[in-house]
Structure 1
Amino acid sequence: MNIRNGLRAIFKKQLKSVPDLRPSFLLHHNGGEIWVSCIDNLGSDIHLIREKISNNEDLMRTKNKQFRVLYHIDGTAVTYEIAGYMTESLSRSSQNIFKIAIVGANRTAKNNIRKRLTKEVSSLGINYFSSIDQAKDWLVSERF
């Protein structure tokens, strides 16, 4: 039994330690465009998370239009510090954002994000979802 548990722990640790380095992208859904920010499965690697958030911000700000943004954060530890960096980035990009859907946030992540929200960012229209499909439908709808 101890060998089995040891092997499970090793494999589980290896699976969690492999970051997801997919680039963010524009997605067409039901007649609308959604900017999908792939910040999922990054664990607690603060440097990698900050780098991906910064790259997303730069890409969104180069275009002269407003985006419906889907932040996919499942599998990423959204600490108070990371939540602050996310909300600061959203604040700097606020003129390029129409509304925001956050997918995969656990209770701790939601609380950290809510604590760090500024009035400017919270006025953009932020909603939390467990399903990417629900988030995409909400983003292209006219509801806030």
Structure 2
Amino acid sequence: MISWVDYEEKVFEDVKAEPGQKALVTFHTVAFEGSIGFVNMLQATRLQRKGFATSILLYGPGVMLGVQRGFPTLGAEAFPGHQNYANQLTKFMSEGGKVYACRFALQALYGHGEPSLLEGIRPHQPAGCTRSQTAPRAG
């Protein structure tokens, strides 16, 4: 059998977290307009599994990734893959990851209140988006 791809060569090292290391994955993406939001969720899950204390920050249009949806009822899957985002965020949180959503974007931009969020997502104030990027780092 001819192989067109070298599956054995590892170009990049397999990085694992050192004790106390953290990762923050930010989402300012339009929900459901492409695969980038889902791919970033998979990357965040991988970081968590590599030992990083990982958080996801949903802000701007990204907050819509954390809103409950479904048809004919909330949580119901109208077709296979319909709940990919909700399922991935739920899995991420069940493995110890934290998810935050901007209150301003949620209500002022998209008309949703905090009860619209998936269980486990923690709302934060708009200034939290900036603070999360500029907070002093220990070590």
Report TM bin, short chain: 0.3 to 0.5
Q: Give TM-score, length-normalised by structure 1.
A: 0.46
Q: Give TM-score, length-normalised by structure 2.
A: 0.47
- In terms of fraction of residues, the more strand-rich structure is 1
- In terms of fraction of residues, the more helix-rich structure is 1
